[in-house]
Amino acid sequence: MSDVILRERRDAIEILTVNRPKALNALNQEVMDTLHEIVGELSMDTELRAVVLTGSGKAFVAGADIASMQELHPLEAEAFAGSGQDMGEAMNRLQVPIIAAVNGFALGGGCELAMCCDIVLAGERALFGQPEVKLGVIPGFGGTQRLIRRVGMAKAMDLCLTGRMVKAAEAVQMGIASRLVEGDVLEAAIETAETIAKNGPVAVRLAKRALIENEDVSLEAGLKAERSLFALCFSTADQREGMAAFLGKRAADFTGQ
C-alpha cells in the first residue's frame, strides 16, 4: 500500500492521514486511488465504528495537484474529476461516519474532500475555499454541488465565483464545517469518533443512511424512509440491549447486531 495515506488503528476507530506534506497534501491520482481503495477495504470491516481523516503537517489538503493537472486534455480532465467524485461517493457510501480534522488549508479539492465527510471539525487555523476560478477552471470533485447543499445558492455562488478563502469561524457559520475546535483538532476528532463508537453501531449506520440518502427527496419521501429505517432498528439486538440498559440504569453493551 502506498504511503501517501498513513493509517493508524485505535480500537474501533481508523485514523487516516493524507501524507504529502511537502505538497501540502495536494490530491493527485495516487492519493485519490489509495484513499478510494482504503475506503473500500474499510467497508468490509465489521469491527469499525468510525473513521477520522486529517492531513500531515500544516495543511488538511491544500487542493488538487496543479502540476499533475496542467497538461490534461479534456478527456483526461473528465477522468481526473471522475476519480475525485468517485472517491467522494465511496466515502458517502461507507456505513460508518467519517470525521474530518481540518488542521490548516482545505482549499479546492481539500474543501471538496472535507465536504465528503460526515462531520467536519475546523481547527483555529483552518481555511476553506474553492479558488479554482483563479486558475481558470471550476471545482471538479463535487464542490459546486456539495456547496449548494451545505450552504445554499447565494453563499455557494460567493465562494465559487470569487475564489475567496474563509476562516474556521465563518466556515462553521456558513455550514461548511460542523464546529470550531480550540486546541488539538485531531484529538477532538478522535474524541468525537470515540463518542460515536459507544453508540449503537446499527443505529449509527442507519442514521447516516437516512440523512445521506434522503437529502434531496421531498419531505414526504424522507419521512417515509425514516419511518422504515426506524422500524428496522426494532429487529436488532442493539435496540433491545440499548433500551434494556437505559431502563436498568447501566451502560449498554452493543454488539452491532
**pLDDT digits over 169-183, tens only?**
999 999 999 999 999
Residue 257 belongs to a domain:
no
Specify whether 81 is located in the same domain as 208.
Answer: no
Of the residues 8, 14, 112, 182, only one is catalytic, namely 112
Q: Are residues 43 and 139 in the same domain?
A: yes
Mean pLDDT across 13-37: 95
- In whole angstroms, give the CA distance from residue 248 to residue 246: 5
Same domain? 107 vs 213:
no
Among the candidates 155, 175, 197, a domain finishes at: 197
What pLDDT was estimated at residue 64?
85
14 annotated active-site: no
Regarding whether 214 and 193 lie in a shared domain, the answer is no
Rg over alpha carbons for the chain, rounded to the nearest Å, is 19
- Is 226 a known active-site residue? no
Identify the CATH number of the domain in which residue 222 sits: 1.10.12
Does 256 reside within a domain?
no
Element (DSSP H or E) covering residue 100: strand 98-102
CATH, residue 109: 3.90.226.10
Say if 255 falls within a structural domain. Answer: no
Classify residue 16: in a domain, yes or no: yes
Reported as a single tens digit per residue, the pLDDT across 202-227 is 999 999 999 999 998 999 999 999 99
My answer on whether 184 and 234 are in the same domain is no
Residue 192 covered by a domain? yes
Checking if the pLDDT of 8 tops 90, the result is yes
Question: DSSP letters of 30-73?
Answer: HHHHHHHHHHHHHTT-TT--EEEEEESTTEEE--B-HHHHTT--
Do 115 and 214 share a structural domain?
A: no
Residue at 254 is within a domain? no
| 31 and 153 co-located in one domain | yes
Coil, helix or strand at residue 105: strand
Same-domain status, 166 and 232: no
Please give the share of the chain, as a percent, with pLDDT higher than 70.
100
* pLDDT beyond 70 at 1: no
Work out how many domains the chain is built from and give that number.
2
Short-list 119, 77, 81, CA closest to 97: 119
Report field, pTM of the whole predicted structure over 0.85: yes
pLDDT exceeds 80 at position 2 = no
3-state helix, strand, coil in the chain (%, to 5): 50, 20, 30
Say whether both 45 and 94 belong to one domain.
yes
pLDDT tens profile 68-115? 888 999 999 999 999 999 999 999 999 999 999 999 999 999 999 999
Span 111-153, pLDDT tens digits: 999 999 999 999 999 999 999 999 999 999 999 999 999 999 9
Say yes or no: 45 and 152 in one domain: yes
- Do 123 and 158 belong to one domain? yes
Q: Mean pLDDT over all residues of the chain?
A: 95
Catalytic member of 8, 78, 132, 182:
132
Structural domain boundaries enclosing 226: 201-247
- What pLDDT was estimated at residue 146? 95
Q: State the pLDDT at residue 182.
A: 94
| Mean per-residue pLDDT, 48-57 | 97
Find, among 53, 161, 153, 144, the residue nearest to 97 by Cα.
53
Cell of 55: 492531513
Please tell me whether residues 29 and 135 are part of one structural domain.
yes
